[in-house]
Structure 1
Amino acid sequence: MTSFENTWHSSPDACVTCTPRRLGLCGLLDSTSLAVLSVRSQHVRYKSGDEIALQGERSDRIGIISTGLVRVVLMTEDGEHHLLQLLKPGQIVGDPYRPENAFSWEAVISTEICWINRQTLEKLMHDHLQVHQAYLSVTARQLEDHRLWAAAMRGRNTLQRTAFWVVQQLSPVAEGSAEIIQIELSRRDLASLLDMTVETLCRSLHQLADRDAIALLAPDEIKVLNPTKLRFFARCGERRASEVLNSRADGKENPFCISRPPKRSHPLPKTANSRQNDLSGTGMRCV
């Protein structure tokens, strides 16, 4: 059952101090669009475990995560719960353009959501093009993150998936040194996210500990002893182990350990505009 601790309307001043002010949808808005958005939104604070939006409920609003962590859950017809994705501050909860929610969104820890109803969102996107562009950009990025996570899980066994998840929790600042990780998810949720049973998850964590990659300090606390060894175990096999240490062309860490993009074997087809430009450059006209 959903229970919220506090509900309050937002204000321009509150948005200035909001955690995701420079993240997600809000971070893509200028001061004018943000001011309009802030006075038409409503903040709700949820406790850990609260149901933010339920699968099958009417869908008529979206929420911007201000603080906390949200899990996206799918319940199957036979009653099984599958954790599909984790959402962080700046990301969006809900889909206002469906008649009902296809998934459930639940608070993993204490979470604050900035809600906007469908009518307000549509008017904002109509009156402010930047709001429309920001909404499309953020939803596309969330879909991309989900696809990359699904791709990263393919070809990895349970030990490798567990090691991969731990790698994702490492802070770039502490790269190469020991780091303590607090596990905010329950063992059941983490096992569901990694597509394994709780027993298999526990066994995989102990295997990584036995190989001196991590140390299990507490049920919700892990110490990474050897990040390089952990990254080795996170790959799909020894032949690809060296790829783990590869960096992207911009020098930043590749969060999903995806290799370099392939080269196109055939040129892209020209659009109508590009054909028009080619003809104008030769003095010819399109007829």
Structure 2
Amino acid sequence: MSLALSPAARAALSDWLAEERALNGAAENTIRAYGADVTAFLAFLAEYDGAPAGPARLATVESRDMRAWMAHERGRGLGARSLARALSAVKGFFRWHGRREGFEPTAVLSARAPKIRRKLPRPLAEDAARAVLESVGDHARAPWIAARDAAVVTLLYGCGLRISEALGLCGRDAPLPDSLRILGKGGKERIVPVLPAAREAVAAYLRLCPFETTPEGPLFRGARGGALNPRLVARAMEQTRARLGLPATATPHALRHSFATHLLAAGGDLRAIQELLGHASLSTTQAYTAVDTARLMEVYESAHPRA
């Protein structure tokens, strides 16, 4: 696809990505996504025009070009969320490129992202979450693996960690302290309190684990001693929800949702929950208030004497 880019456009994209990495601290996964999205847009322009998009063409992108690109992307099956992300990357590149080259990319910056219907988190009920923690290791092939799976899901539910954050813990993090310093998405750091139940679950796993714990090595190990694959945690959850009769939405990530929802239901402060989850925006955390309200209405409609 990069063959459809002019050398000047390719150089500009490379310079922008380098600046995003160096000055704005964008993560490598973000850089790769930005590069792919902008490259796809420039390749579309090349195909649309029948010639690689050079600097002069970039300065004359019109609203109809943007509409054609977005229609093309939707036509090949790109969802609203993915298209919105791609449009954001394209706008970022053109904003930077316009400043550098002295033109105003009005048509690009005024393009409207598709509306995204936000999906509400699907948490587990409190008794279901407890049942998962108590039984997730029931069918493990070894006691240490049962203890490992229990420790991981306890961290997800008890501390609100993402699966990548839990599996990113190293030997130097054990024994778990009263609070953990977690490096989350986009390099955002947060302090997460550790409940006694989580400390005890990890300690129980480490007592049984047959592999040596080294400061730089992974805390959670697979059956052969390597870093635990998140797919194995997902599989343990699949087996557990089948035994407990839970819906398909009972995934490892649902335990993080459950952590936030149950905290909110118990009177937790929304700002504090935002900090615990590591959300960059409060609007992301506010989705849990919609879950709580929806549950309240269900209870009201089923229990009210006039319902």
- Return the structure number with greater relative CO, CA threshold 8 A, min gap 6: 2
Give me the TM-score of the superposition, normalised by structure 1.
Answer: 0.23
Give me the TM-score of the superposition, normalised by structure 2.
Answer: 0.22
Which structure's residues are more often helix, by fraction?
Answer: 2
Which structure's residues are more often strand, by fraction?
Answer: 1
Larger radius of gyration: 2
